[in-house]
Structure 1
Amino acid sequence: MRKTETQFHAEVVAMAKMMGYLVYHTYDSRRSEPGFPDLVLVGRDRILYRELKTETGKLSPAQKNWGEQLQASGGDWDVWRPSDMPEIIKELSQ
């Protein structure tokens, strides 16, 4: 069964909180900057900016722009998909 982005989001948030991260998510994206990452995870002496997508979900131009700008300024930005779960667990555990 394929996971929706909402289901995947809930799993990632629960896991991150369980591992001690502070988690920020804009709940009403219509009132925020277009393309801003889905999650900001703060913990373990770092800040992670993550865009969550389904296996077939595509980044919008605004999401790509945010990712490029965050990376250019030293931010840890990436896209996570449900198939990345083993790597997500490993990354959050570091």
Structure 2
Amino acid sequence: MPPMSERKLQSAVLKLAGFHGYEVRYHTKDSRGSQAGFPDLVLASKKRGKLLFRELKSDSGRLRPEQKVVLEVLAACGQDVGVWRPADLLSGRIVAELRAAPTDYLK
């Protein structure tokens, strides 16, 4: 099977997010208009009380330094951040994270 592109991964993730009740599924179509390093996806679910920031990468893709900084800052602010790859789709990790209860960062 050929490697899955980030574009195909994004399409699959957006469909899964909608299926799991994420009403807001912002995705960067053209990153030239966005702040350098901002994550590819922002997923929000009122029903689940969750907000997820996710960067999508191919299985061999690497985070750029500015992407690492933005994810670190968001995490320091108590946000749920991460990197998803095609292997995470196949392993079930993406669905598990979409379905998980929100993390209580205030404890």
TM-score (ref. length: structure 1): 0.95
Structure 1 residue runs of 4 or more that deviate by more than 3 Å after TM superposition? none
Q: CA deviation at 1:51?
A: 0.3
2:100 aligned with 1:91:
no
Cα deviation for residue 63 of structure 1 reads: 0.3
Structure 2, unaligned stretches of length 5 or more? 101-107
Structure 1: distance between partners of 2:76 and 2:41: 18
- Greater per-residue helix proportion: 1
CA distance in 1: counterparts of 2:30 and 2:7, whole angstroms: 14
Match of 2:63 among 44, 56, 59: 59
The structure whose Rg is larger is 2
Residue in 2 aligned with 1:26? 28
Cα distance in 1 between the residues matched to 2:76 and 2:5: 30
Q: Which residue of 1 aligns with 2:74?
A: 70
TM-align CA RMSD:
0.8
Match of 2:4 in 1: 3
Structure 1 residue ranges without an equivalent (≥5): none
SS of alignment partner, residue 68 of structure 2 = helix
Equivalent residue letter for 1:87:
R
- Paired residues in the alignment total 94
Whether 1:48 aligns to 2:52 is yes
**Aligned partner of 2:4: which letter?**
K
Query: 1:41 Cα deviation (Å)?
Result: 0.4
- Deviation at 1:62? 0.7
Residue 18 (structure 1) shift? 1.4
| SS at structure 2 position matched to 1:48 | strand
1:28 counterpart letter in structure 2: D
The amino acid of 2:3's aligned partner reads R
